[in-house]
Amino acid sequence: MPSTLRVGFAGTPDFAADILAALLASQHQVVCVFTQPDRPAGRGRKPQASPVKQLAERHQLPLYQPLTLRDEESRAPLAAATLDVLVVAAYGLILPTEVLELPRFGALNVHASLLPRWRGAAPIQRAIEHGDSESGVTIMQMDEGLDTGDMLLKKSVPIDATTTGGSLHDALAAAGAEAIVTALDEIAAQQQKIAGTAQPQQGVSYAAKLSKAEALLDFSGTASNLALRVRAFNPWPVCWAYAGNSTLRVWEASAEPSSDTAAPGTVLSADSNGIVVACAEGALRITRAQLPGTKPLSVKELLASPKRAEVLPQGSTLNAQEAH
């Protein structure tokens, strides 16, 4: 009969909930769950339970939401759980050495990149934004550094011209779920830590946290770079630009060559095939967008909607630099 590990889990968003679901479906026993405290969300700013909390409550798992794990009192449930291993996925809190040393086989992190590339908070989106041809997940033995621990297992996922932040998130969550169960099965079979590989010093990059402000499109850049950002920031924070006195959220767009010498931000055409905007190099063809009070629509639908008047006609300007 396969050995069963006593597993603690720490995570917060949807990505982490997918990992937790895989652990619950495995041969191993999830004995406690840690997640971030409820945060205000939505228009009403009401406290909202994280996806991990919702899943843990459905399975009636012991659940903890400390503000920190740096004091002995907050770590007490982990110490009492007599863990074989702690699995961490997008938790959002720094784990001190005292936590990492509690489980018999240490703490494993499910990180959504091929380390050492894209250490940090937003590896999924940064990979697309920078034109990477592949991403993946790394199962890492955690240490005190920021995603610096030894690598135990990697699983690659391709990025193509249709990949968005949302689709890559889902693919990596599935890959991470499979990979962490494989790693735990191997630990259980050997009853010891898996021998890891140290991360190379070459190729290290950092994935800074996303902000809404950086999703503002700057047409003085290249169309190809803007198209990458549109894909990377879908479904959050979603790229946008000023459209007259309104804002246009851009959900889908592609880059194309252009010999037009119009100033960056100039609308070159707006028809059922898209809104074509001049950039410093090339043009950005926006094919799916959203105005305030509408859902995301194809440009054909948007131009046929009552909100059409807010979409700038040919010769007008989408100006990311204008003060509003």
Read off the pLDDT of each residue in 1-13 and give the average, rounded to a whole number.
90
- Cα three-residue angle 102-108-114, rounded to 5 degrees: 155
- Tens digits of residue pLDDT in 116-164: 999 999 999 999 999 999 999 999 999 999 999 999 999 999 999 999 9
Read off the pLDDT of each residue in 36-50 and give the average, rounded to a whole number.
87
Residue 109 CA to residue 151 CA, distance in Å, equals 10
The answer to whether 128 and 165 have CB atoms below 8 angstroms apart is yes
- Architecture of the domain spanning 213-310: Roll (3.10)
Task: Name the band, by pLDDT with cuts 50, 70 and 90, for residue 324.
Answer: very low
Q: What is the pLDDT of residue 314?
A: 65
In angstroms, the Cα distances linking 17 to 11, 99, 104 are 7, 21, 24
Query: Nearest Cα to 12, choosing from 92, 108, 107?
Result: 92
Give the CA dihedral 248, 249, 252, 256, nearest 10 degrees: 40
Two structure tokens written together for 37: 């405290």
Mean confidence (pLDDT) of the chain: 93
- The crossing angle, in degrees rounded to 10, of helices 14-25 and 51-58 is 30
Q: What is the pLDDT of residue 292?
A: 87
- Tens digits of residue pLDDT in 289-319: 999 888 999 999 998 887 776 667 667 888 7
Domain map (residue ranges) of the chain: 6-207, 213-310
Query: Nearest Cα to 58, choosing from 69, 50, 66, 47?
Result: 50
Residue 282 CA to residue 293 CA, distance in Å, equals 31
Read off the pLDDT of each residue in 64-68 and give the average, rounded to a whole number.
95
CATH number for the segment(s) 6-207: 3.40.50.170
322 pLDDT more than 70: no
Q: What is the pLDDT of residue 154?
A: 97
